[in-house]
Structure 1
């Protein structure tokens, strides 16, 4: 048997029992692995449904351009379908989305415009507003608007819900879903509740998003909105696809817990998933006291880990945000193992001859150069030698004339791997500001000393 095109392979994703990461959580915990869709995410389902509905209604015409605001996964589904069906794509996204997602969209031939995250949805610079403006300006274009297009929820009502019901033989008691556009949880949840009204539908939210408070109080609180790192869930407005009547409760998960849980799913279950899956498992664990041993819980694993290599799966990215503590040596732990010495610097107005004498007397090869107390460059033995061979008269010139770019700066959480990679022929050291604001220097010798110590 074969398929006529890649779109026919969407859906019928496997349900896999989790065995390690949910130890201590009562019940049978099953993950719906949506990464097996051809675009590696659950969004393939609703992308095709929205296009097909628009074709039927005449909103999307042959040779048209699809314009959408997307965090990446919906864009991938739309781009894939557009290739098969003969449409062009322009996507707007935010600067908080992973580079991998943007690169993947461009790999499918889409044009991608990156917009700022930290602006209101109504702001003309927001990715919602830019996509709406482009829809008005680009001839023969159509904006799916995944947030308010109810074909999004309908796709899950028709596909995801029935699949889960059949795969669990109707035994499902709880559905756990990260909520962004609301299509997955609302469509799937509606179908499941029609089959059994006792099934609990739990939505996972993030701090900085409005869903949880709105569900509990009916108040849309703008003061709750602030930028957050977690991708794919939470919103700063209320999409039409979020059916609050279907969702029994919302649970918020911190950026840190979501990021670390994402990594743990890969390490403990061998399932390579994205950020919203980490948030969903984090939320489930927080809610474990509401579960019984006989419960059957289905958690949606929305998308693939390959889209987060520069973020949740990058230790330096995690350390920079304070999410990972000293598992490996960091700049902070290297400094704690070296004797605190006053860093030797030279003012930019000092002469080249003074630099030579300092290098000789201190038995060092490179010196940071300062101007009004700020480090602005460095001067090395090799720089001096090259300059004097070219022009012996430079001995009396200020070192600002021959200095080169300063040593790289790192922060206290930077890993030993990153620091080592920055030390090379051009840079014999890196600079770091300690907790008191004092500038310290880390050399290759300091790294070796820290490892052996």
Structure 2
């Protein structure tokens, strides 16, 4: 992947992007089509969030929003925070990351190893909640001298990173034949940027988002307004929102499917037992949606269906892979339960 602007200081950062796409024979045989997986855990920070982290940091430096030695601040479920920390420290900056108490211990460990200063907050419910990661990160950056809040939920560089890098990669790697793109929706940056690029190449491509039950973005996509009665959504780390992020662009998205937390957990175990691959939590939600809604998706044998796996299951051992798996889960295709 070409970096956003090739400056001398940025050359110290490990290459981000150009992650592989793998055809999954196991899933392809089940769904009688071509199932491809974009493996973003091959990025240096082991997640797709390295991409917007790089773009947001570079943009802030170029616009002189932060001076040398300052502190980059982010509200994150872990992966963006790690990308921000890794890149910031390579460039001589500090990082302060605000995570919710639902963040996996594995991610917190990685943040500490990377050198981040960490604050644990009650939730990630957006700027209207004084105890949220977003509010506390913004407040810290406003009060701290020489600090910049990258703010992935409202930073246009989040979408731009995926429009400029992930989308073109996918188009080229699939030889312009991709027909479906399935992706978990959290900040909305990935599906908005990739979706926008792919729709410009092929209008009839299907751009489908996945979110937890109770998240509001499905409703927003259909009605262009948030629901009146907002309830807590099921906790699938990295995706789902009870507010509409500024980095969520509904225009290129055709539909958003909702799945439950427990079916997603079972999907992760089912996939691991059949492929020996540990996928992340939001990737497991994509797998659960594929099973639950395949009768609606109605794939053709010649289709090229790409599943976006933003990170690796090693970030969720305690949440997804720490318990023994019973034979019913291992052998059954019915993971809905």
TM-score by length of 2: 0.89
Q: Secondary structure at the match of 1:201?
A: strand
Cα RMSD for the two superposed structures: 2.0
How has the CA–CA distance of structure 1 residues 25 and 65 changed in structure 2, closer, same or farther, with 3 Å as cutoff? Answer: same
Q: Secondary structure at the match of 2:13?
A: helix
Alignment of 1:168-247 (within 5 A): 168-247=174-253
Asked if the contact 1:15–1:31 (Cα under 8 Å) also holds between the matched residues in 2, the reply is yes
CA distance in 1, matches of 2:201, 2:218: 26
Asked if the contact 2:34–2:305 (Cα under 8 Å) also holds between the matched residues in 1, the reply is yes
Could you say which residue in structure 2 is the equivalent of 1:79?
85
Q: Secondary structure at the match of 1:159?
A: helix
Match of 2:306 among 291, 294, 298: 298
Q: How many residues align?
A: 318
Name which of structure 1's ranges 268-277 and 194-203 shifts more when overlaid on structure 2.
268-277
Could you say which residue in structure 2 is the equivalent of 1:265?
271
Shift of 1:231: 0.6
Match of 1:43 among 43, 49, 53: 49
Alignment of 1:140-151 (within 5 A): 140-151=146-157
Q: Secondary structure at the match of 1:61?
A: coil
How has the CA–CA distance of structure 1 residues 264 and 9 changed in structure 2, closer, same or farther, with 3 Å as cutoff? Answer: farther
**Does 1:282 find its partner at 2:288?**
yes
CA distance in 2, matches of 1:27, 1:74: 33
What's the CA shift string for 1:372-419, capped at 9, x where partnerless? xxxxxxxxxxxxxxxxxxxxxxxxxxxxxxxxxxxxxxxxxxxxxxxx
Alignment of 1:352-431 (within 5 A): none
**Does 1:18 find its partner at 2:16?**
no
Name which of structure 1's ranges 79-88 and 288-297 shifts more when overlaid on structure 2.
288-297
Shift of 1:272: 2.5
What's the CA shift string for 1:413-445, capped at 9, x where partnerless? xxxxxxxxxxxxxxxxxxxxxxxxxxxxxxxxx
Shift of 1:292: 1.4
Q: Secondary structure at the match of 2:320?
A: coil
Shift of 1:214: 1.4
CA distance in 1, matches of 2:192, 2:246: 10
Alignment of 1:312-351 (within 5 A): 312-315=320-323
Asked if the contact 2:126–2:134 (Cα under 8 Å) also holds between the matched residues in 1, the reply is no
TM-score by length of 1: 0.67
How has the CA–CA distance of structure 1 residues 181 and 120 changed in structure 2, closer, same or farther, with 3 Å as cutoff? Answer: closer
How has the CA–CA distance of structure 1 residues 6 and 256 changed in structure 2, closer, same or farther, with 3 Å as cutoff? Answer: farther
Structure with the greater alpha carbon radius of gyration: 1
Shift of 1:314: 1.6
Shift of 1:265: 2.7
Asked if the contact 2:126–2:243 (Cα under 8 Å) also holds between the matched residues in 1, the reply is no
